[in-house]
Each structure stands twice: as C-alpha cells, then as structure tokens.
Amino acid sequence: MIGIKDSNGKIKVFNSTPKNWGAVICGFDTFSKEKLESYGFYDVVKPTIKQSEQYGEIKWDSKNKVFTYPIKNKTYSQSITELKTQKIENLKSVYGSVLSKTDWYIIRGQEGIAAPQNIIDARAALRSECASKEAEINALSTKSSIIDYQFPSFR
C-alpha cells in the first residue's frame, strides 16, 4: 500500500500506485520509490495487532518516513470473570468437537465392543490438556491477556 497527504492534510491510501497523478498522464506506477517520494507518496505500514487491539487513525511517521496506523487497546464491557467464562466455554466447545470425532467408539462400547486403547488414551490426553488450558485461562489477570489467549489448532 502507498499513501499521500493531500493539501488539506488528509491521508489518502492506495492499494497500489496510481497509473497517473497530477501532470503525469501514464506510467506513474513505474516510478522509483525515490521519485514517488518526491511527489509525496510513501509506503503505508500496517503493524500486526493482537485480538485485544485495534488500529487508530492513520498518521505520518516522520522518523521512518511512512504512513502507519497507531495501535490502540480495545475496551471491553465484560468483567474479567465474564471474559474467562466465555473463553472457557469456547475452549470446551473446541475440545468437545475434537472428542466428538471418536464418540462413536465410546457409544459402541455400550454395545459390548471395546474402544481401542489408543483412542481411550487420546481422549484422556485431550481431556487433560483441556483442563490444563482451563487452568491457564483462570490464571490470567487482565482482559487483554484473556482476549489474546490462543487455543491450539486441531486441523
């Protein structure tokens, strides 16, 4: 992305360099970085943010000669307890979904056909891991740390 500050001080952002600009009718997008900068065009840097953060209004960073978005912390109306409860419910749903893939072994066990030991062990490990993750969530003490807590990926 590339941006320019217009005569009113408003920053305009382009996904790609325009083909024409001002008196340049075509080929503007082929100019070198230095030549684009002479027209006031500079790179736009969008920093990586966490789930608990959001972008502020785009600003000019004179030190690095780029346009960038400042990072701001989001605010949450829920209490820490409410956020933990919600996060733990989501955690249990994720693990429950993974466990559901082998539920049929357990149901079949009700009919007298024993589940393979590796399935029983894997399910026990998942339940143990889920309990550990729940304890980790309960140990968190800030809203942002709860929001940013990442579950394992089971894809």
Helix (H) or strand (E) holding 53: strand 53-55
Among residues of the chain, what percentage have pLDDT more than 90? Answer: 87
pLDDT tens-place string over residues 92-101: 999 999 999 9
Instruction: Tell me what the mean pLDDT of segment 46-68 comes to.
Output: 96
pTM of the model: 0.74
Q: Is 67 in contact with 42 (CB distance < 8 Å)? A: yes
CB 134 within 8 A of CB 91: yes
Q: Give residues with Cβ within 8 angstroms of 102, minimum separation 6.
A: 115, 119, 122, 123
Mean pLDDT of 25-31: 90
Residues 141, 142, 145, 149, Cα dihedral to 10°? 60
pLDDT by residue (tens digit) across 34-47? 999 999 999 999 99
Backbone CA torsion sign across 128, 130, 134, 135 = positive
Over residues 82-111, mean pLDDT: 95
Domain ranges within the chain, ordered by starting residue: 2-73, 80-148
